[in-house]
């Protein structure tokens, strides 16, 4: 029998009791032909032993432990080992450069630092500035690559220690994790989450998608991000298997679903686009794979283009679909979600998730009526405790228990919420408010366009003008005139005034890196764009 409302570390213990010899995690690395597996018992023992090793080195309840790793079979056991000590797990974005890694580590006041082989150079650059605060450097890569000043995890974890976690008094209100925002709109903020937040994410995700012990979850996004981990937690709650896939090639994704009998996959928009392109181009023949068991594809982390879902349903008509909306500050996805029963409603992000409230307000905080655009605010058990060491930002973001998301949304007459755009991404064109997502969704219906980002470019007369950075599908050719002709279906003020052809950069969670694009394309519109790209 599954017990409810457990602290998250107790869920791992429960899975070890119920399913000790069953597979908990599978890691696939297609580029190297590698596959690894770990049982629930191995998961539990590794976490327990790691917790004892940390404790023996002086890591106590309330200390902070940095985790700078790409996805691997060791990632989750080490994460839970940190939680078992009562310390805070501090997973970092593996794309952060040295300066941001240093900033995050100093903000967290971390005492221990775990890092993988890919990060040796970045960590060495900042180590001298951290040696007075970080007392323990742990290396998660192969022993032979370990720097002389760090300890390999394989040596650190003693196989002879106890196979149960240390006796640490943990409560739902205790702090558990410090997660840094992606930084796509500025400097990353430190989001402090409690054990209650993490535990709620397990029950929320399971309530939304009905995972059973037999479900197999395909996890591709980076585990440092709440989106990937919190979606996995719905399966974790019931001891379901997780398949970690290292690599995002369309064929690798479809192969993983087929060979591992995956039933649920959470995809970012670029990956779903690439899969559809590969099917269209006959690079993937769906009849070559076993996909009948794949019952659910859900997406999130950014606005989902309706055209994407319409095309997806052509190839996977019997598959359930769900849109998930959330923020790091709401402990990841699910504060608003479409719901599998509403998959025919293509466009809205949905209704408040289980245990959540949501409303749309104006600048004065007044509740807006249907079809009026304003800021989306949410309230529920996943709201973060605070922005760590940033009381001013906390007070601005959490007011009377309501989390102000910074996203512009509207609701329809039936209460479904439609995401309009980020407040910070809004373009003010001659006094008119333009939301880039609306334009991006329009252009993504074009058969030759793979991706697009719309940004505001400074204009002396109009303030800003909308410009589009367009990525063309492989093998396709499109002219600027063709784009201009296509966009005549848009109102004139929403039509692109400048067009650039190039890659659309996205972070590991699929969000367009618009600050980067603004630095390149909007820094000085008079300069030759090729000079800016050098």
Domain ranges of the chain: 426-533
Band (494; pLDDT cuts 50, 70, 90): confident
pLDDT winner (highest mean) among 198-212, 366-380, 468-482:
198-212
- How much is the pLDDT for 50? 97
Overall average pLDDT of the 297-306 stretch: 78
Q: What is the mean pLDDT of the chain?
A: 90
Q: Is pLDDT of 430 > 70?
A: no
Tokens standing for 414? 């039936």
Q: Which residue has the higher pLDDT, 494 or 21?
A: 21
Is residue 360 helix, strand or coil?
strand
Q: Which fold has domain 426-533?
A: GMP Synthetase; Chain A, domain 3 (3.30.300)
**Residue 174 contacts residue 311 (beta carbons within 8 Å):** no
Chain-centre distance for alpha carbon 303: 13
Count of beta carbons in the 10 Å neighbourhood of residue 431: 8
By the 10 Å C-beta count (0-12 exposed, 13-18 middle, 19+ buried), 502 is classed as middle
Band (218; pLDDT cuts 50, 70, 90): very high
310 phi/psi in degrees, rounded to 5: -60, -45
Band (109; pLDDT cuts 50, 70, 90): very high
pTM: 0.83
- How much is the pLDDT for 461? 65
Overall average pLDDT of the 248-254 stretch: 96
C-alpha gyration radius of the chain: 23
Q: Is pLDDT of 7 > 50?
A: yes
Mind giving me the DSSP string for 485-511? HHGGGS-GGGS-SEEEES---B-TTS-
Round to whole Å and give the CA distance between 237 and 228.
15
Is residue 341 helix, strand or coil?
helix
Tokens standing for 375? 């800021």
Count of beta carbons in the 10 Å neighbourhood of residue 486: 17
pLDDT per position as a tens digit, 342-358: 878 878 899 999 999 99
- How much is the pLDDT for 525? 47
Round to whole Å and give the CA distance between 54 and 77.
13
- How much is the pLDDT for 509? 62
pLDDT per position as a tens digit, 503-526: 888 876 667 887 788 888 876 443
Q: Is pLDDT of 466 > 60?
A: yes
Q: Which residue has the higher pLDDT, 430 or 128?
A: 128
Q: Is pLDDT of 421 > 70?
A: no
189: Cβ contacts below 8 Å, ≥ 6 apart: 180, 181, 387, 390, 393
């Amino acid at each position: 029998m599954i017990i409810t409302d457990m602290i998250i570390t107790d869920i791992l213990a429960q899975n070890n009791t119920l399913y000790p010899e069953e597979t908990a995690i599978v890691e696939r690395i297609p580029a190297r032909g590698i596959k690894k597996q770990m049982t629930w018992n191995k998961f539990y023992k590794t976490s327990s032993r790691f917790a004892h090793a940390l404790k023996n080195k002086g890591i106590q309840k309330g200390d902070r432990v940095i985790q700078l790793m790409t996805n691997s079979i060791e990632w989750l056991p080490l994460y839970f080992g940190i939680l078992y000590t009562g310390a805070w797990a501090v997973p970092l974005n593996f794309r952060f450069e040295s300066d941001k890694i240093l900033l995050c580590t100093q903000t967290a006041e971390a005492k221990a630092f775990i890092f993988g082989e890919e990060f040796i150079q970045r960590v060495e650059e900042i180590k001298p500035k951290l040696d007075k605060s970080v007392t323990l450097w742990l290396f998660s890569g192969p022993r032979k690559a370990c720097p002389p000043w760090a300890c390999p995890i394989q040596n650190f974890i003693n196989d002879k220690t106890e196979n149960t976690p240390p006796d640490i008094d943990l409560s739902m209100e205790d702090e558990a994790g410090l997660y840094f925002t992606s930084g796509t709109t500025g400097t990353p903020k430190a989001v402090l989450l409690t054990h209650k937040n993490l535990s709620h994410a397990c029950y929320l995700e399971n309530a939304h998608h009905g995972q059973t012990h037999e479900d197999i979850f395909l996890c591709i996004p980076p585990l440092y991000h709440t989106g990937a981990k919190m979606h996995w937690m719905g399966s974790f709650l019931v001891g379901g298997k997780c398949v970690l896939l290292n690599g995002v090639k369309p064929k690798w994704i479809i192969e993983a679903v087929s060979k591992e009998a995956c039933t649920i996959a959470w995809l970012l928009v670029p990956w779903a686009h690439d899969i559809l392109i590969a099917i269209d181009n006959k690079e993937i023949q769906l009849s070559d794979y076993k996909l009948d068991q794949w019952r659910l594809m859900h997406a999130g982390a950014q606005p989902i283009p309706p055209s994407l879902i319409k095309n997806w349903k052509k190839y996977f008509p019997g598959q359930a679909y769900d849109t998930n909306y959330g923020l790091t500050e709401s402990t990841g996805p699910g504060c608003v979600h479409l719901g599998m029963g509403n998959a025919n409603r293509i466009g809205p992000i949905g209704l408040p998730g289980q245990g959540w409230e949501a409303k749309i307000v104006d600048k004065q905080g007044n509740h807006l009526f249907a079809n009026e655009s304003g800021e989306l605010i949410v309230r529920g058990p996943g709201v973060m405790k605070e922005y760590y060491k940033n009381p001013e930002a906390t007070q601005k973001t959490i007011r009377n228990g309501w989390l102000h998301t910074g996203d512009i949304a509207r609701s329809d007459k039936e209460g479904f919420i439609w995401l309009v755009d980020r407040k910070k991404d809004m373009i003010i064109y001659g006094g008119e408010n333009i939301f880039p997502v609306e334009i991006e969704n329009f252009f993504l219906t074009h058969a030759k366009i793979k991706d697009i980002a719309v940004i505001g470019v400074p204009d002396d007369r109009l303030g800003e003008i909308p410009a589009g950075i367009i990525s063309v599908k492989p093998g396709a050719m499109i002219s600027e005139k063709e784009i201009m002709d296509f966009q005549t279906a848009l109102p004139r003020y929403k039509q692109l005034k400048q067009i650039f052809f190039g890659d659309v950069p996205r972070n590991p969670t699929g969000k367009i890196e618009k600050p980067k694009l603004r630095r390149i394309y909007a820094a000085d519109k008079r300069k030759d764009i090729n000079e800016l790209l050098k």
